């Protein structure tokens, strides 16, 4: 059995779905600077059609996007990958949406702009959590 804390960094694929190109570019730079593989998508539809969901180790998504919004994306992701950590980023801090996201299983909900180091810490914690759950289930 693999007892490493979290997922091996070389296999980490952090996906960002955001309709703002500047955010996608920034997130890609942050993730790659931390040693993660970073894939970015301009829409939930693009991400869902890409076949990347099966390989993703963490999903970072905007809440408000044209077409499928972040909450609907989370719902769809949960159907196929219920343990995939989902982190929301948004420019619109809405308490009702925040509660829906967290009740739907999101590990975090951040307002833009946010601290990149804090986000990376949250990702590390989220990637370690599933292994802890599996280890205690055995």
pLDDT tens, position by position, 2-55: 333 444 555 799 999 999 999 999 999 999 999 999 999 999 999 999 999 999
pLDDT tens, position by position, 72-102: 999 999 999 999 999 999 998 899 999 999 9
DSSP state of 51: T
CB atoms near residue 105 (< 10 Å):
15
- CB of 61 within 8 A of CB of 74? yes
- Domain boundaries in the chain? 11-137
CB atoms near residue 99 (< 10 Å):
11
Q: Which element (helix H / strand E) includes 62?
A: strand 58-62
Question: What percent of the chain is modeled with pLDDT above 90?
Answer: 79
Residues in the chain: 138
- In the prediction, which pLDDT does 67 show? 96
26 exposed, middle or buried (CB, 10 Å; 0-12, 13-18, 19+)?
Answer: middle
DSSP state of 104: T
Strands lying side by side in the sheet with 108-111:
37-41, 13-17, 58-62, 86-90, 108-111
- CB of 62 within 8 A of CB of 23? yes
CATH 3.40.50.2300 describes domain 11-137: yes
């Amino acid at each position: 059995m693999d007892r490493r804390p979290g997922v091996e960094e070389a296999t980490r694929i952090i996906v960002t779905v955001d309709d703002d190109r500047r955010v996608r570019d920034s997130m890609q730079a942050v993730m790659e600077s931390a040693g993660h593989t970073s894939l970015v998508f301009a829409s939930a539809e693009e991400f869902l059609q890409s076949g990347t969901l099966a390989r993703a180790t963490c999903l970072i998504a905007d809440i408000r996007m044209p077409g499928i919004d972040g909450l609907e994306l989370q719902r769809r992701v949960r159907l196929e990958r219920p343990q995939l950590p989902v982190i929301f980023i948004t420019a619109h801090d809405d308490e009702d949406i925040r509660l829906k996201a967290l009740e739907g299983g999101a590990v975090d909900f951040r307002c833009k702009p946010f601290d990149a180091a804090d986000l990376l810490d949250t990702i590390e914690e989220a990637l370690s959590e599933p292994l802890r759950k599996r280890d205690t289930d055995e």
